[in-house]
Structure 1
Amino acid sequence: MPPTASPLLRPRDGDALRAELRRTAVHAQLPVVFAGEVRDGTLQLSEFLGTRTNSLAGVVVPPRAGLGGRVLAEARAATVADYGRSPAITHHFDRPVLSEGLRSILAVPVMVGGVARAVLYGAARECAPVGERAVNAFAQAAARLAQEIAVRDEVDRRLAMLARASEDRDPVASAHVREVHAELRTLAQDVDDPGLQEKLRSLSDRLAGVLDGAVPAERPDVVLSPRETDVLSHVALGCSNAEIAQRLSVGAETVKSYLRSAMSKLDVHSRHEAVVTARKWGLLP
């Protein structure tokens, strides 16, 4: 986890790792899958499915040691068809690996910004090359995890930036809040995990009333859809419909449709009025 991360806001990366392992085990059709997070350049195995012993639990893998260490050092996937006899790796971990009965093993790094953040493994107890189906399944899993971790890192960075701006109470603090709000709405569109998507939107909603400790004015029972809020948050930044469409990966006509719907709900007749009213009612920061 990056140093700016808040343990109260960021979900455990290990939970995402475990969920991805379960999903990948089905598609890869390998009897054993396991993984670990990389901290300070060192891998620690922590998540296991299909193992029969505890021999691998808590194993710490430095760069270049064993198959995992090779993957860390080279930043790319690697396989061995017979772990105990492979000349392509060091044999620092023969005892825990062979005690589990593993022979054919695939290791894939989860790369974020050129840095390994985790390593995923798939294994079988027979000596045979790892099939293309398994390799593809693990590559896709690593890509999904990399995207999710990158989004979490960006959220942490944006929230840290917001905290600094709020502490300084400088004249641009309001602009920072609104930019972070819009970025969180955009990030929510880029993730496949519904839980993480909902958390990003929840964080953006919490920013809506943060400026100067403002309390939303009494308002009618108006509820904007997530997409209507996405569009208005970018209108508040001065974006054109074309710019909003590009940021949210939708068509310009779709943006117009959401904007018309939001204006109708807010009972206003212009983009500017929509933003002013949404802010007054605590729907935007």
Structure 2
Amino acid sequence: MPRGAAKSDDAGAVRSAVLTLHRTTGLPVVFGGALSGRGSLRISELVGNTTDSLDGLVVREGSGLGGKAMALGRPAWVSNYPCAASISHDYDAPVGREGLLSIVAVPVVVRRRVRGVLYGALREPLSLADRVVGAAMEVARDLEQDLAVRDRAGETLARARRAPGIDRGTARWEEVRAVHAELRALAEQVQDGPTRDRLRAATLRLAAAGLDGQDTAVRATLSPRELDVLSYVAVGCTNAEAAERLGLLPETVKSYLRSAMRKLDSHSRLEAVTAARRAGLLP
């Protein structure tokens, strides 16, 4: 995935996490940002703010509460920000204009690298409850998983782009089929709708590259999960193996496969895969 696209996707994911954190904790002020450069992040998402003092603020690693959380790679919090001796006070002015006193900062760490920070705050000098800190950490962990899946999807797409103009009988074409199946599985793990749609669209482009005929009437009749299962069947997976990769039960995979075979008027797994390839549903 291009670096600019990754930053844009990170910002969108942080936006969703900030809204979730506000909803689940009830904290009056919630904000956050994604990494904007080496060792710094830019606060871009705010809920409950009454001024624009924090909007666009660049936080450097090691500076302030968020910078401390970035440097340590773990949450940090204070109950009276102006008086806290455990942090530097580089950002007292913007924090003071917003009137924030009790603040928690939770880093978002993917593959041992900080990708952003989520903040929650009160305008009173009160200790944040363990429940609130725990909820913030849970939202951050969900965001970390989402970003990790996006990263894997980007790497898988890059693999597909490195294999253009392939003859259908070659081993490299089998790699395209494996990439297609992996992208289908990754799409179902992504919480963000637009990103999930982009991944599914990428799988359709890969499938169209192997279009054998014009039998496209069944394209709209297979459900996403039926196509997910067929994608793994097409690369030789058993029902149990497909279930493990898709996070489903083997019986559920068997049910989706039976349904796909019926819709494709096929009597075997091989016939179903062949029919799906002729319809441009699989590469």
Please say whether Structure 1 and Structure 2 have the same fold, judged by a TM-score greater than 0.5. yes
CA contact (8 A) 1:165 1:172 kept: no
1:84-116 deviation line (CA, Å, top 9, x unaligned)? 111110111111111211111100011111111
| Structure 2 unmatched ranges of 5 or more | none
Residue 19 (structure 2) aligned to one of 22, 25, 29: 22
Cα deviation, residue 169, structure 1: 7.8
1:12 partnered with 2:18: no
Deviates more, 1:81-90 or 1:250-259: 250-259
- Following superposition, the deviation at residue 11 of structure 1 comes to 6.2
Assess if the C-alpha contact under 8 Å between 1:5 and 1:156 holds in 2: no
Q: CA deviation at 1:204?
A: 1.6
Once the two structures are superposed, what CA deviation does each residue of 1:26-75 show, in whole Å capped at 9, x if it has no partner? 22121111111113221111111111222222221221111111101100
Q: Which amino acid aligns with 1:180?
A: V
> 2:223: which partner in 1?
225
Question: 1:265 Cα shift?
Answer: 1.3
CA deviation after TM superposition for structure 1 residue 235, in Å: 0.7
**Could you say which residue in structure 1 is the equivalent of 2:28?**
31
Identity of aligned residues (%): 46
1:64 aligned partner, one-letter code: G
Deviation at 1:279, TM superposition (A): 0.5
- Which residue of structure 2 lines up, in the alignment, with residue 203 of structure 1? 202
TM-score (norm 2): 0.91
Q: What is the identity, as a one-letter code, of the residue corresponding to 2:186?
A: L
Match of 1:241 in 2: 239
- Unpaired runs of 5+ residues, structure 1, are none
Please tell me whether the aligned partners of residues 32 and 50 of structure 1 are also in contact (alpha carbons under 8 angstroms): yes
> How high is the TM-score relative to the length of structure 1?
0.90
Q: CA deviation at 1:206?
A: 2.3
Instruction: Work out whether 1:178 is the aligned partner of 2:177.
Output: yes
Check conservation: 1:4, 1:160, Cα contact below 8 A.
no
Once residues 234 and 148 of structure 2 are traced to their aligned partners in structure 1, the CA distance between those partners, rounded to angstroms, is 26
Q: Which moved more, 1:57-66 or 1:219-228?
A: 219-228
Judged with a 3 Å threshold, the aligned counterparts in structure 2 of structure 1 residues 219 and 75 are, in CA distance, closer, same or farther, namely closer
| Cα RMSD for the two superposed structures | 2.2
Show the 5 A alignment for 1:1-285: 4-5=2-3, 7=5, 12-38=9-35, 39-166=37-164, 171-211=170-210, 214=211, 216-221=213-218, 223-285=221-283
Determine the C-alpha separation between the residues in 2 that align with 1:6 and 1:96: 28
Q: How far apart in 2 are the matches of 1:154 and 1:172?
A: 22
Letter of the 1:21 partner, please give it: V
Contact 1:6–1:156 (Cα < 8 Å) also in 2: no
Secondary structure of 1:165's match?
Answer: coil
CA distance in 1, matches of 2:67, 2:7: 27
Distance in 2 between residues matched to 1:43 and 1:201, nearest whole Å: 30
Contact 1:177 1:207 in 2 (8 A): yes
Change (3 A) 1:85 1:168: farther
